[in-house]
Amino acid sequence: MDFLALFAVYVAVVLACIVLVCKYSGRQQTPAAVLLDAAAKVVAPFTPKWLQKASQWTLHTLFHQRNNLFVYLHVLLEVAVYAEFTYEVFGFCREMDTSLTSLSVPYVLLAIKTFLFYLCISSDPGTVTRKKAAGQALIYPYDRRLFHPGLSCPTCRLVKPARSKHCRLCNRCVQRFDHHCVWVNNCVGARNTRYFLLYLYTVCAMAGDVALLTADMLLHAVLKSGLLMASYIDESGQQQPAGPVFVVQHLFLTFPRIVFMLGFLLFVFLLLVGYALFHSYLALVNQTANEWYKSRGYTCQHCHPTAAADHLCYPAPDQSGRYYYSRGILRNLGEVFFPLRPVQKKDN
C-alpha cells in the first residue's frame, strides 16, 4: 500500500496545482503570491537587502506581469510525457502488434497542437488601439448591465468598446476579452478565441489518446502475466487470490514511470475536458469567461431595447437578460470562428 499512498499524494498535489493555476491565472492576488508575501515579511529582518530586492523582482515578474514561465512548464511536461511514451510505451505496444497508424495519432495531434499553441501565443487577441477604437465600438452594443457607454480606460485613455476589458498583465484593452491565459502567455479575445478552443480540444485529444494507449499496454501486460489468476501468501501465511490492489502494486513495481505518467494524463484529461466544455458552452451562448464571472448572481432589472440603435454592425440582441449577446447557436459559433469586423460609418 506504500505505492498507492505515494501515488495518491502525487495525484492530489498535481491536481491541486493545476486547479489553483487555472482558477487564479491572471488575478491580482493568488494564494501563492499571498503566501510568499507573508513569508517574505517574516524573514525580511534577517535577509540582506540585495536578496530582498531580488525576491521582490521575482514575485513581481511571476505574478504581476507577463512571463513565459508557464509556457516553458507546459513544454517541459509535454516533452516528459512524450519522451516516456516513446521510450517505453511505444515499444511495448509494437510487441502487442498495435498498428503504426494508431501509434502515430499522438504525434499527429502533437503537431497540430503545436501549431495552434503557436497561434495562441503569437496572435493578436483584438487589441483596442486609438486607431481602431472608433470602429471596434461599432461592433457590439452596450448592454448597460456590464458595459456602459462613455466609460474610458484610465490606463489606455481610450473609450472602452462594449465587451472589452483592460488586461493588467498585458497592459492593453482587448476586444471581447475572455481571460488572460498564463499557459500561452497571452490574452484570449475576439481574434484568437477560435485558436484557443481548438487548442483545448487538441490537448484533450492528445492526453486521452496517449492515456488510452498506455492503459491498453498495461492491461495487456497484466493479462499476459496471468496475474488475475495468480495468488500470494499474506503476512499470516494464508494463500490469497491476487486482487486489484496486488495488481496495481505489481504495476507500480514493474512500470513505475508509466503508471505515474498514466495517472497524470488521466487527471489532466478530466480537468481539461471540463475546462473545454465550459468554454464550448460560452461559445454556444456567445458569452466570455469575463462576462460569465461578472454576471453570476446578477438579475437584470432594466433592459434597454434601444441600446443597439446607434450601432451598425450588430443587430439588436435578445433582451432576455443574461445572454444579451446571443443570436442563436450557429451565429454564435460563427462569431467565434469568424470574428466580426468593424464597419466604418459612411459620410452622407
Which residue numbers are catalytic?
181
Q: What share of the chain is helix, strand, coil (3-state, %, to 5)?
A: 60, 5, 35
**CA–CA separation, 162 and 273 (whole Å):** 30
With H, G, I as helix, E, B as strand and everything else as coil, classify residue 97. coil
Report d(CA 176, CA 187) in Å as an integer.
Answer: 10
Q: Residue 195 — φ and ψ, nearest 5°?
A: -65, -40
Q: Which residues pair with 172 in a beta bridge?
A: 167
Measured CA to CA in angstroms, residue 77 lies from 10, 84, 183, 198 at distances of: 15, 11, 12, 20
List, in order, residues 6 or more apart from 3 with CB less than 8 Å away.
248, 249, 252, 253
For residue 221, the tally of other CB atoms under 10 A from its CB is 18
Whole-number Å distance between alpha carbons of 170 and 26: 10
The C-alpha R_g of the chain, in whole angstroms, comes to 26
Q: How is residue 328 written as a grid cell?
A: 442563436
- DSSP string across 132-191: THHHHTTTS---SSS--TT-EETTTTEEPPTT-EEETTTTEEETT--EEETTTTEEE-TT
